[in-house]
Structure 1
Amino acid sequence: MGGIGKRRRIGVRLAAVALAGASVVAVAPTAGAVDLAGTEAERRARVEGQQELRELVEHGGMTAALAEIRIGRSTWRGAVGVAELGSGRPARADGRFRIGSVTKTFVATVVLQLAGERRLRLDDPVERYLPGVVPNGAAITVRQLLNHTSGLYNFTEDDRFLVNDEAELEDYAYGRWRYQDHRARQLVAVAAEHAPYFPPGQGWKYSNTNYVLAGMIIQKVTGRSWQRETERRIVEPLGLHDTLFPTSQTGLGGPSAHAYLAMPAGPADITRFNPSVVDSAGNGISTTADLNRFHAALFGGKLLRPAQMADLTTTVPTGTPGGSYGLGVLRIDLGPSCEPAWGHDGGLPGWSTLLLGSRDGKRQFALSHNPFVGTDDSASGPAIGSLIVKTLCDEQRPAARGTAPWTPPSTGPDLLVTPR
């Protein structure tokens, strides 16, 4: 099996020889923007939102940034940057993108629906559904998979999934490495070669292995792939026409901004890759509009019964200030002037996604941006944090305005080119 990750130490060295993100990215006009009337606070959020998307591209090391903000019945959607370097084509506000670990929220929702139908129980051992697949599977519950308290090793931290030197990075950029096919059982087997981080239930550690297993459990219980079950239960009923969960297909199946890796010879296009390497832990594709519609339906009570909503939002501490984790969702405390935000972040090589919203399902913020991998994107945090505050904090709460920049927490390992 090949690797797809890159440690930060390599990123630092490459930054010295690669083109800077700002030198190859021109800010393009918004394409497909939506601007609906609303309150003064909502109009301000839209105007400033476009400015902050521009900040991400001009100074944040991004080639493109797309966002949709929903506040009540008002919606703003915009895009900044280019769809493809050198083409002059603007990024589309309705473009598709890889959502990375936001996929986990979809998968957890399906598992919770099955629990509500009494087809599985969250406190059942994994061994009941996947006998012999996981060492110590009799001591690990389905719930512990979903909230990352299983202790299982994260397979994407294995050396086979990391780029450890410049030669391997070049192979990833220009070679066949990122097109290799993987199977769920192979990914779990890699994790099983490593000792667990801690005994089940005695700590918290984000692990993509947990959600690969959750996908396998969905297939075991329903007789259908986790992709098909997610489509049948969520995508089709909600009309999420631009949301898909591929198997080994390398494209996005629709218009999208491209993803790039900075190399000494110039930008390498890494848009296409085989997403089976992350399977049900992060292979989804969607749009900002579809993600917000999903979030509104989930937290608006349209997808889960009350008991399962309680399970979804029962969190455990992650060790990150202001952050805790439920079943496939993050809870982020934005401070005393704002309600907590609920959602997930996600990252894949050249793609970064954030989906957050209010607990009552009335406010959503979806963002996709394309980090020019290998360049400095540290300036992106304040712009993203400001967008979140404007979406999820009330105008009537003055302390929320001008809040210190907030950086979304990284749920995954400290890697630049690896799934989160």
Structure 2
Amino acid sequence: MRELVDGLVRDGARPAALAATRERDGRTATYTAGVGDLATGTPVPANGQVRIASNTKTFTSVVVLQLVGEGKIGLDEPVETYLPGLLRGDGIDGSRITVRRLLQHTSGLPEYTQGIAGNFAEFQHRYMEPRDLIDIALEGKASFEPGDGWEYSNTNYIVAGLIVQKVTGRPLGEEITKRVIQKIGLKHTYFPATGEQKIREEHPKGYHADRPGGPLRDVSVSDSSAAWAAGALVSTNSDVNRFFTALLDGRLLKPAQLKAMRTTVPATGDPSPGARYGLGLMSKPLSCGGVYWGHGGDIPGYETRGGVTEKGRAVNIAVTVLPGGPAELTQMEEAVDSALCR
């Protein structure tokens, strides 16, 4: 593991790398490489907090599926049932998009982040309401008819988060905290409060280049409201391992909902060969045989990858800058594979 994290910073492309492992018997370990602050050379905190980005989708999906198990949401009910009139646009009709299709990325909804990508400096400190994100998405057109394809779209999870709020009458962050974070004792995981921009606990600084090849700047202080239900959570590698282990062990969902979550379709646009997507949960093949289950996430400042094998070994790796290209992303995936197969 130490060789793996050292390798992620060796070429200088990533300021820091952090990793945590969890064995089936509960033994854990953490590893770091690089520096936590480029300006001062401060060491990387051993289990520092990072923005875990799209791993948030799995948390959101768990809450939706818990509500399905309670009979408050129907997986095959259309969005229109819960949010009438919300989804109307070019080829977009909320009466034809089910909750399942949202969670599985088979809805065809356009990607709202395309409206803000490439201009992070403008949005870094801007607070955005979920409906603002939906409005941006609806400026685009549907990618395909609902159920006729697969395409990763953060918009799906913004809609899912709004359904949770409509059904429960409570903020999404509160529901995630109560139903997931507190339930399994994640001590270093939180959903940022409205307007909260600083990371609460010890953390490596996250960096971002505003243009390809440009200088890295510290973006640790950011408003994550533009990610919301799709990517706002802050956590540690160890907590992420604990979460995915508890999920796969059946401690968060009833058997029927966990089975639905693990029922996958080919993730045809994912860069990992053989990747499949369930309901907020991905499976990826291992070079040593079998698959691992997890998600991963990318947000300006941080990239995370990891998961849990069927035998219960877990690993999560974070670096403090987004990948510069496909080769760097592949290196992260290969590091996870090596860690889970050792």
* TM-score scaled by length of structure 2: 0.91
SS of 1:59's partner is coil
Q: 1:148 aligns with which of 105, 128, 147?
A: 105
Residue type of the partner of 2:314?
Q
Q: 1:128 aligns with which of 70, 81, 92?
A: 81
Name the residue aligned to 1:332.
284
Q: Does 1:368 align with 2:323?
A: no
Gap runs ≥5 in structure 1 = 1-48, 396-420
Report how many residues are paired: 331
Q: Deviations over 1:106-152 (max 9, x none)?
A: 00001011101111110001000001111211110000000000000
Q: CA deviation at 1:224?
A: 0.7
Q: CA deviation at 1:382?
A: 3.7
Distance 1:365 1:60, change over 3 A: farther
Instruction: Please identify the structure whose Cα radius of gyration is greater.
Output: 1
Q: Does 1:137 align with 2:91?
A: no
State percent identity of aligned pairs. Answer: 37
Q: Does 1:237 align with 2:188?
A: no
Q: Does 1:323 align with 2:275?
A: yes
**Conservation of the 8 A alpha-carbon contact between 2:112 and 2:154:** yes
Q: Deviations over 1:331-383 (max 9, x none)?
A: 11224x322111101001121011311235x111111111277x678356346
Q: CA deviation at 1:81?
A: 1.4
**Conservation of the 8 A alpha-carbon contact between 1:316 and 1:325:** yes
Q: What is the alpha-carbon distance in structure 1 between the residues aligned to residue 130 and residue 54 of structure 2?
A: 16
Name the residue aligned to 1:356.
307
Q: What is the alpha-carbon distance in structure 2 between the residues aligned to residue 79 and residue 377 of structure 1?
A: 23
**Conservation of the 8 A alpha-carbon contact between 1:52 and 1:384:** no
Name the residue aligned to 2:244.
295
State how 1:34-53 maps to structure 2 within 5 Å: 49-53=1-5
Name the residue aligned to 1:20.
none
Name the residue aligned to 1:99.
52
Distance 1:376 1:301, change over 3 A: closer
**Conservation of the 8 A alpha-carbon contact between 1:60 and 1:380:** no
**Conservation of the 8 A alpha-carbon contact between 1:60 and 1:379:** no
Q: 1:225 aligns with which of 167, 171, 179?
A: 171
Q: Does 1:162 align with 2:117?
A: yes
Q: CA deviation at 1:60?
A: 5.8
SS of 1:257's partner is coil
Q: Which moved more, 1:305-314 or 1:67-76?
A: 67-76
Name the residue aligned to 2:296.
345
Q: Does 1:261 align with 2:208?
A: yes
Residue type of the partner of 1:272?
V
Q: What is the alpha-carbon distance in structure 1 between the residues aligned to residue 195 and residue 148 of structure 2?
A: 35
Distance 1:55 1:291, change over 3 A: same
Distance 1:226 1:369, change over 3 A: same
* TM-score scaled by length of structure 1: 0.75
Q: What is the alpha-carbon distance in structure 2 between the residues aligned to residue 255 and residue 245 of structure 1?
A: 16
Q: What is the alpha-carbon distance in structure 2 between the residues aligned to residue 219 and residue 119 of structure 1?
A: 12
**Conservation of the 8 A alpha-carbon contact between 1:322 and 1:334:** no
Over the aligned positions, Cα root-mean-square deviation in angstroms equals 2.0
Q: 1:109 aligns with which of 34, 58, 62?
A: 62
Q: What is the alpha-carbon distance in structure 2 between the residues aligned to residue 188 and residue 384 of structure 1?
A: 31
Q: CA deviation at 1:162?
A: 2.5
Q: Deviations over 1:151-170 (max 9, x none)?
A: 00010112xx033xxxx67x
Gap runs ≥5 in structure 2 = none
Residue type of the partner of 2:127?
D
Distance 1:377 1:190, change over 3 A: closer
